[in-house]
Structure 1
Amino acid sequence: MSKPIATTDFFAFRAPLLPFQKFLDWSDGLQGPSVGQDGDALEHALEADRTRLRDGLRKQLDDPLVREAIFLASPSLFDRLETWHSEPESKQGRKVERAIVRYFVRMAGRATPFGLFAGCAVGRIDTATHLTVPDRTTHRRHTRLDMEYVFQLAEALATSTQLRSELRFRPNSTLYRAAGRLRYAESRIVGNTRNHRLVVVDETDYLLATIERAGAGASLEALAAALVDDEITLEDAEAYLAELIDSQILVSELEPPVTGPEQISHLIEQLTPHRPVNEITQRLCELREGMSQLDHNRTANTPDAYRRLADSLQKFPVPVQLSRLFQVDLILPSDHLSLGQNVVQEMLRGVEIVRSMYRRLIDDLAEFRRDFAERYGDREIPLVEALDEESGIGFRKSPLPNVESEPLLAGILMPMGLDATMTWTHQHTELLRHFTKTIAAGKQEMRLSKADIAALAGSPDELPDAFSVKCTLAAASCEDVDRGNFQIVFGGVAGPSGARLLGRFCHIDDDLREHVTQHLRREESLQPDAVFAEIVHLPEDRMGNVLCRPVLRDYEIPYLGRSGVPEERQIPITDLFVSLRDGRIVLRSQRLNREVIPRLTSAHNFLLRTLGVYQFLGSMQHQGIEGWSAWNWGPLKYAPFLPRVTTDRLVLSRACWNLSMQEIEDLRKRSGANLYQHVQQWRESRSLPRHVLLAESDNELPIDLDNILSVETLADLVNRKNEVQLVEMFPGPEELCAAGSDGRHVHELIVPFVRTHEPRRSSVGPAKAPAADQQRVFGQGSEWCQLNLFAGSSTIDRLLVEYVRPITNTMTESSDIDSWFFLRYNVPGNHLRLRVHGDSQRLQRIVIPKLNRLSARLQSDGLVSRVQWDTYEREVERYGGMEAMPLVEQIFHADSQSAIELVANYAGDEGAHLRWQLALYGLDRLLDDLGLPLEEKLSVARDCATVFAHEFGFHGPFRKQLSQKQRDLGSQIEKLLSGERDNEPVLTAGLESYRTRSHRISPVAANLQDLSARGLLSMSVNGIARSLWHMHVNRVLRAAHRAQELILYDLLTRQYESQRARRRLNI
């Protein structure tokens, strides 16, 4: 027997509070479905149905546990139940009724844990399958304060003057130094939302000393005493520290941890030693005890029990909102839960199938790798420096072109920003064949053979070392499962790790916590030389309800979140260094001198409206692996109907119906009998079954199309939506194999796996540091100086022609400078970077004052919004090494002179059409100046074109646009490069500027080739040429540089291919 790709020894089982039979029984005896199209009869039938259905809802609401569940989910809805009881036909009564229907249906039809609506349990892997849903009397529940309230209470207490003097403070976990200044994330509450912004502050000796003293936590008394000297009084020091606290440079020890013990216990522990808040501490203890009593009650709790606890907090410095005060989780006993090995092996077969077909189209780390290689080469630098938006390369910057109109981009639709699943591949061609065949045959199921699956296979990345499968079993009974008569509804594969959906429940279930911890240790054992570190981050207080979890790993990386591990096992972001090793991004802890692998044992979407450092650390989990694999219809996903997809026992995708805008509108504008009658006709025309699921992302709500209240709920829910999808209810009621004494239940399984390969050994030490005598950074007082002028892209053209050209010419003629060059940047904000070189003393005495006077005039005239002196950091590795760098800077100088002449002679929108043509000519001539033969020129162009096509997603149909560009422009480009257009008057000035550039560059290029011949370049001449191309386009064109590079490089590639073909044919 072959070795399995992965193993598991436990799973998580999820089930709702009520059996699905409750939902079915609610619709028993309805008259509406049997009436037909008789209008009056239908009105009477639906009136009778409403009465019957409302009686059924009232019966459910008589259940104290159902009432408690609704109260916890929405106290305001609970308070309005009486309105519905007394006036169900009123506008307010109907609104309440729809909410009751949604909550009741969720309690019977959705297994995802939510309050008391659904709970989870732990099962084991065994020889047989048993999915026994325990009796309600054995359920446990866990009540805690909402994390929003806890975090806001801690923040309010920390700012109170009576307590602040007694607390210990430490630096903000996001604090770091970059470009000679301190930066950190500051949070502010706006309404009910916490927002963050990056703040920059100047370094001072006092600030740096205070931050260092507070490193491990310090009292204000100790911090103030250390600041006092002959010029600073104690009062001054205390006021200064108060400013640091108010600006969040220093944070208090009251900040609850994201990982570790429950937050209310932490808060009580921290407050207990402080007498000024004894009353608050005592009330919190009483509240914790009160919540514990609620959890130990064998019967349902009344709303008054919760209200009494809420009333005890009224005197606290944070307003109490009952709807945002309590969080309750439901825990199911795990005595009779097991999965047989036959089910596990079928799951693993599903893993292999969906992984083989899934193709990741967007790699969030790809741009970072490219930018890092260009900027830093093989150096290792502090992570915070690399991610800094101003001085570094940042993370996840949008590659979409600027909005300025550029003629070269006319007619080009950029694919980036579109849904990645819309990119067409060979798999979609094969998939379309199966889809059309199924639809043409009138079938609702598309069955795939092994050969079909092989034909649909792509080139996926590796599986994570630890992952989980989310699925549901479909079988008449668990005995049938053991006999092999079952199907698996395969939801998908997610990782790493396999515990992402389980971390938050480890607080409430010791058995689950033990299993999760062992799962993570097994994952870590596959890379024993690395340090696995949990990312600790809290973007919003209320997110703590799903992000807070126990300590699950030995090490943690705190970033805008307090860690629960001891100080020596925390890895601050300032301790992390980043480098590229064999194309792989490597994080290393400087203190531990080991590779660090970030992990997030949480289902939080780390890319959604969060800070760049957190996004990067989260994305690092998925480097080189498939973080998510599932069936994907790709561009077909918007078809009106998508059949069920199966292969043997696996259901890879359930059947679904996409509603058109007209269908949605038809539901919106109808009500009552008119709505019901329309739905029955529509249902028949679309072959919809009686029971369907209204799906929105992973939220699915059962809908009974025979039930008037369910139909009205559907119409209400699709209101104000532009996309609506209905999914078949599979497994159906007779295939729900999870059952208890009260009937069959819907369920979900989360099955964590760890792969079985041998451990990978690695030893990651510091990357090779540059030699001490290799100067790459030039600041104030050096032989280089850099001035940044912030302005719009069109204004930058004017600055270059009217101000930069005259002043650089004057300073060169007077020997104040000997060379200079410029670049355009758009982060942070559009700006021009002017770098000048000369004797350091003349720069300080003459050049910088001249440039300061010019800058003041530009600001006074409103041409620039901001002026900044900055540091010039050479990109040594990118341009061939330290010996090559001065030569390349001479090329920068010559190219900048040529570029300014082009900008001057081909200004504004009128000159833009000629400017891109001359830029293309300049690219070709630059390769000639570097001495590259045609084959090498083609290699450079093809490499550049490939990189940019990948960046912008120009594959499949998008490449046709580039072919059309070649057909439209190829002839005039060919004539331009061959010299046939040299006599065109409009091109004379531009061509002459390039001849001058060639005269200046040719001897420099010869020196570069000599260094290459002697093996003294760290980058090939071709590689240097690619970077010089990029810089030339940056200087000559005014905006949308990368998008225009895509077109230019593709056009040149086609020209060179054509030239090569003609040479081979001697044409």
Structure 2
Amino acid sequence: MKIQLFQKAICRTPAFSPTDILADKWEELKRLIYDASPDFHTLIKDIPFHEIPLLAERAQLTIWKYFNRAKYRATPFGGFASVSIAEIADQQQTLIVQRNPISNYLTDWSEVDKAKDMFGTALSDTMELMTNSTLYRIGNELRYIRAQEGAVTLASVMTNKWISAVVDCCQEKITVNQLKTSMQQKLGCSKTAVQNLLLQLLDAEIIFSERTPNITGIDYFKRSGFGGNGAKMYRIDHRSVKAGKLDANQFRDLPAFFNFWRNVNKPFRSAAMTDFVIAFKNKFGDSMIPLALALDPEMGIGFAGLHETTWPLFKIKARANSGWTADAELNGVDSCDAAFRSFLINGMVEQNGIQLENFKQADLRHNDPFPNTFSAVMSYLDGLPLLETAGGATGNALLGRFTMIDPSFEAFGRELASIEQAANPDILFFDVAFSGEKAVDNVNRRLNVYNAELPLLAWSLSDEVLDLSDISVCIRNSEVILWSMKYHKRMMPRVSTAYNFGRSGFALFRFLCELQHEQLRTQLSFKLDELVPGCNRYPRVCYRGIVVSPAMWRIPEEFRNSQASADHTSLETLTRWMTNNEVGPYFKYGIHDQTLTFDTREPEDLRIFLKLLKVHGATPIIISEASVASVPVADDQGKMLNAQLILTYYHNDHLFQSVLPQLNPVMNIDEANAFLPGSMWIYYEIFCHPIRSDAIVVNEIAAVVIKAQHLIDKWFFIRYNTPSPHLRLRIKLKSPRGLRTIISLMEQIFKPALKAKKISDLQIRTYYPEQERYGFAGIDLVETMFWRDSEHVLHLLQHPLGRQDLQVQTVQWMDSIFNCLYPDVHQRMLLVKRLAGTFALEFEMSPLDFKSINSEYKTIRALHFPELTRSATQQALFELIENAIAKIGNFSFSEKLLSDLVHLHINRLFPDHQRQQETILYQYLLNHLRMKAARVASPSKW
């Protein structure tokens, strides 16, 4: 995977130069404050510079903060900073940008409700309509998401032929007049009746009109004609580049750092996505089902605990566990190998700075790929490039909001989208358009740079508008896969905005946002204070010529004591502490991009710093080293600017494997088959401790199936751990008339076990056959295989073997199972190698783990692996398997069936830790097959 630097970058520059003084910039600063805080501007607009000391202390502090921001902070905010597009070349040049930026004004998104109120509810015949994209059907019910009183609500309505007809007509954009004509032709409705129905459906948000706000595409306020007349405005400034280019040579070590950091830092998957995968597999298995069903709070599994009927649009507390955006979780103490942490701690003890390239890496362990495009936010520290943050699922995340201000930014975004698409030509990339927080939604406004879009509670101007009802989801090898039924393509969401989606409580939106990070290395920032927390001092960390973490210091508690003040004594104490700890000459204080820069040589800066410490709160105060105007960027008047660069890196490797449609039987929402208690199937859940489960199978379950064998057509059991350990016993009766006898027999046999506390509970449940999972083979045939295997396992449990003997016999059994499909040992070995690799990846097996398993295998190999002797039960099972393979006629389906049979056999055979047992047994089997292949290749040596 060759990571390359894209030959364009975003350059963000503060409004003023670090060399500017407030006396010269006071009037200009007031104009900037007017856009940022009109109320504060009213207080200071008539104040001349020399009267600032007469203002209240709080007002003086606010002025200092604004001026500090205008000189040092490059994050766009009103007129306080500007953006430019800079080219990158292999030569040292100073980038020259225009001094006076071009100001771009858009009506602020907080005015959106006023715009909607202005339009009212009147309908014109030329107005376009479109179905709410989140709408899906369950029987005669329509369910959909709507926004109501600051909350996202799962709404529903019983459908009828008129509502269904309107919804169907509005799947594609259609005018009111066209819809009226269609309804009149199809159902004989009068135009007045259609008009009244439309008003109701619009009010309920079942359909949207073109007056519904769009967060992407042509600006909604310009499109609708709303604005001006005192409306609040949103400002983004743009500076054109006059001369010069950025020097690519300064960043030549970054790709090597990204590879290094990937190798030592463990892959990350959010807890929410991990839970989703587990819950999905438990409920739906390998089925491909509608995404709406999966996330439905009643019929599905929801996402991230956000599956209540109504939930707030955003949750401030969600920031603490907001998926991949929680840097502390990604960069915490457990995120890297122990050897690397020891290397860091040793470097901190020496206090001479840490050079990461000196760490001697073991073999490559973590090789999850980088996204096709991603960003690196850079500044400079003492002339060296400083990596502030890096990563993201797409380079468009930090670019999107700027596409509204100049065509060059839109073209930039489309180039990045084209790189992603060209690398994955069989994937349907789509943007997710959602506005759920008016106070911060300005950052979500953007033009369309991807060809397709899923609008959530919004109008869409995209050429390809997607619907939730078209999207299906499945799990393949723990990977979450979306599939478009319309386009017959795998789908990948992209959210081309820097919005912190962890704030959102909208399950569908959160799911799509987190999904774009799945199976990719999207967090590449290096945070030493999070890797080794709790220290008072952190040295600078570099990788070759790149600073990846600046030196940092924890401010002692004495300086933020409520009794402390900015008097002369406190100032002297702080100055002495900074001198002793080698802080200076500049340092930053704050979090993320909300920072202030201080000059340790300026007493006024330190006095203000002491005042800020008093109101900091209880969290530790960390400051970091900084330098000023060391970036080779200046304005056209020769003044250096404290710029920040957003570089984009890319590669052209194919990342996302498509999914063949025929391998994914799709279960529709209304297709669920069920056997209720009282039908041909009776299903018991027997709750017991894993230690006790073998005895329950051998004694109680065996007694039931033997005594009732004249009533039973087939039966099988499996072990389960959710919600607590239990056995699932499923019995198919020859006739429902035997039900009463079975229930009575179960009560008679299990009552003593319940009294003796051998089991904690016994429940009768509805049986849902996995038709969607095994439909390709025939569910009746598969259930018969489960029966034969359960009988075989029961026999093994009744005649227990030692651990190693049981492992040997299981490996032989697995080999015989796969031999049914692949008699050739080399073909069999390829399949087993692939399956073993999946388990090894799941458990993040290290070279030491493989060595330990191989050593154990050598011990059991001495048992000589005798050929498997098939009992009558086993022979019946193998005949069923051979019949199924012949019926299926598809290697992929057959492989899936056999691997599932092996999985369930191990589940039945071992009382606990079955997944780990399966992992070990696949490694044993792989070694066993290698030996067999060696015998075939060189029989004389054996």
TM over 0.5: yes
Asked if 1:534 is matched to 2:431, the reply is yes
Pick aligned residue for 1:391 from 299, 302, 305: 299
Matches of 1:70 and 1:179, distance apart in 2: 57
| 1:755-834 superposed matches below 5 A | 755-757=651-653, 764-768=659-663, 777-778=672-673
Matches of 1:210 and 1:679, distance apart in 2: 71
Aligned residues of 1:783 and 1:839 also touching (Cα < 8 A): no
Asked if 1:11 is matched to 2:9, the reply is yes
Partner deviation per Cα, 1:745-799 (whole Å, 9 max, x = no partner):
2111112233255x68976441336599xx98325999859999xxxx9xxxxxx
Matches of 1:1049 and 1:825, distance apart in 2: 12
Asked if 1:72 is matched to 2:68, the reply is no
Pick aligned residue for 1:143 from 95, 105, 112: 105
CA apart distance, 1:87: 9.4
| 1:26-105 superposed matches below 5 A | 56=22, 59=23, 62-63=26-27, 65-81=28-44, 93-105=56-68
| Matched residue type, 1:15 | T
Match of 1:628 in 2: 523
Distance 1:393 1:359, change over 3 A: same
Q: Percent identity?
A: 19
CA apart distance, 1:224: 7.8
SS of aligned partner of 1:777: coil
Distance 1:783 1:821, change over 3 A: farther
Partner deviation per Cα, 1:823-851 (whole Å, 9 max, x = no partner):
99999xxxx9999988999999xx9xxxx
Match of 2:211 in 1: 254
Match of 1:352 in 2: 259
| Matched residue type, 2:532 | L
CA apart distance, 1:340: 2.6
Aligned residues of 1:146 and 1:542 also touching (Cα < 8 A): no
Unpaired stretches in structure 1, ≥5 consecutive residues = 26-55, 269-283, 288-308, 314-324, 400-415, 476-485, 794-807, 848-868, 895-920, 956-1001, 1033-1044, 1058-1067
CA apart distance, 1:524: 1.7
Matches of 1:335 and 1:787, distance apart in 2: 79
Match of 2:509 in 1: 614
SS of aligned partner of 1:468: strand
Distance 1:78 1:726, change over 3 A: same
Matches of 1:870 and 1:238, distance apart in 2: 46
Matches of 1:927 and 1:748, distance apart in 2: 71
Match of 1:208 in 2: 164
Matches of 1:516 and 1:704, distance apart in 2: 38
Partner deviation per Cα, 1:450-495 (whole Å, 9 max, x = no partner):
44263697524112222222212456xxxxxxxxxx5211234324
Match of 2:18 in 1: 20
Aligned residues of 1:185 and 1:198 also touching (Cα < 8 A): yes
Matches of 1:767 and 1:504, distance apart in 2: 40
Distance 1:1053 1:586, change over 3 A: closer
CA apart distance, 1:642: 1.1
Aligned residues of 1:487 and 1:650 also touching (Cα < 8 A): yes
Aligned residues of 2:566 and 2:610 also touching (Cα < 8 A): no
Aligned residues of 2:565 and 2:610 also touching (Cα < 8 A): no
CA apart distance, 1:129: 3.5
Pick aligned residue for 2:329 from 404, 419, 444: 419
Pick aligned residue for 2:346 from 436, 440, 444: 436
Matches of 1:722 and 1:108, distance apart in 2: 29
Unpaired stretches in structure 2, ≥5 consecutive residues = 308-323, 689-703, 743-764, 814-834, 847-870, 886-896, 924-942
Asked if 1:1023 is matched to 2:903, the reply is yes
Aligned residues of 1:641 and 1:657 also touching (Cα < 8 A): yes
Of the structure 1 ranges 384-393 and 624-633, higher mean CA displacement relative to structure 2 is found in 384-393
Match of 2:932 in 1: none
Matches of 1:610 and 1:743, distance apart in 2: 45
Matches of 2:572 and 2:662, distance apart in 1: 72
CA apart distance, 1:82: 6.8
Asked if 1:195 is matched to 2:155, the reply is no
Matches of 1:424 and 1:924, distance apart in 2: 41
CA apart distance, 1:339: 1.6
Tell me the TM-score normalized by structure 1: 0.63
Pick aligned residue for 2:484 from 589, 607, 610: 589
| Matched residue type, 1:339 | L
Match of 1:153 in 2: 114
| Matched residue type, 2:7 | D
| 1:154-193 superposed matches below 5 A | 154-157=115-118, 160-162=120-122, 167-178=127-138, 181-189=141-149
SS of aligned partner of 2:396: coil
Match of 2:74 in 1: 111
Aligned residues of 1:359 and 1:460 also touching (Cα < 8 A): no
CA apart distance, 1:552: 1.0
CA apart distance, 1:96: 2.1
Partner deviation per Cα, 1:340-365 (whole Å, 9 max, x = no partner):
33234344344333333432233565
SS of aligned partner of 1:493: strand
Distance 1:786 1:71, change over 3 A: farther
Matches of 2:409 and 2:105, distance apart in 1: 18
Matches of 1:589 and 1:385, distance apart in 2: 15
SS of aligned partner of 1:12: strand
Asked if 1:935 is matched to 2:811, the reply is no
Aligned residues of 1:347 and 1:488 also touching (Cα < 8 A): no
Aligned residues of 1:18 and 1:745 also touching (Cα < 8 A): yes
Distance 1:640 1:600, change over 3 A: same
Partner deviation per Cα, 1:481-536 (whole Å, 9 max, x = no partner):
xxxxx521123432432232111101112222223322322332122233322222
Pick aligned residue for 1:267 from 224, 237, 245: 224
Aligned residues of 2:431 and 2:493 also touching (Cα < 8 A): yes
CA apart distance, 1:427: 3.3
Distance 1:544 1:733, change over 3 A: closer
Matches of 1:533 and 1:456, distance apart in 2: 37
Distance 1:350 1:1049, change over 3 A: closer
CA apart distance, 1:725: 4.2
RMSD: 5.7
Matches of 1:572 and 1:890, distance apart in 2: 42
SS of aligned partner of 2:663: coil
CA apart distance, 1:1025: 4.3
| Matched residue type, 2:346 | T
* Aligned residue-pair number: 804
Distance 1:678 1:871, change over 3 A: farther
Partner deviation per Cα, 1:843-897 (whole Å, 9 max, x = no partner):
99xx9xxxxxxxxxxxxxxxxxxxxx99945366489962455458979999xxx
SS of aligned partner of 1:435: helix
| Matched residue type, 1:640 | N
Asked if 1:639 is matched to 2:538, the reply is no
Tell me the TM-score normalized by structure 2: 0.71
Matches of 1:923 and 1:541, distance apart in 2: 65
Matches of 1:89 and 1:840, distance apart in 2: 95
Matches of 1:240 and 1:871, distance apart in 2: 42
Pick aligned residue for 2:420 from 523, 533, 541: 523
Aligned residues of 1:571 and 1:589 also touching (Cα < 8 A): no
Matches of 2:205 and 2:8, distance apart in 1: 43
| 1:469-484 superposed matches below 5 A | 469-474=376-381
Partner deviation per Cα, 1:67-124 (whole Å, 9 max, x = no partner):
121111111221233798899789x922222222211111111111111001110111
CA apart distance, 1:702: 0.8
Matches of 2:194 and 2:377, distance apart in 1: 56
Match of 1:488 in 2: 385
SS of aligned partner of 2:366: coil
Partner deviation per Cα, 1:369-422 (whole Å, 9 max, x = no partner):
4554555455433232333343234444599xxxxxxxxxxxxxxxx9993544
Distance 1:545 1:938, change over 3 A: farther
Distance 1:142 1:20, change over 3 A: same
Matches of 2:639 and 2:666, distance apart in 1: 74
Match of 1:278 in 2: none
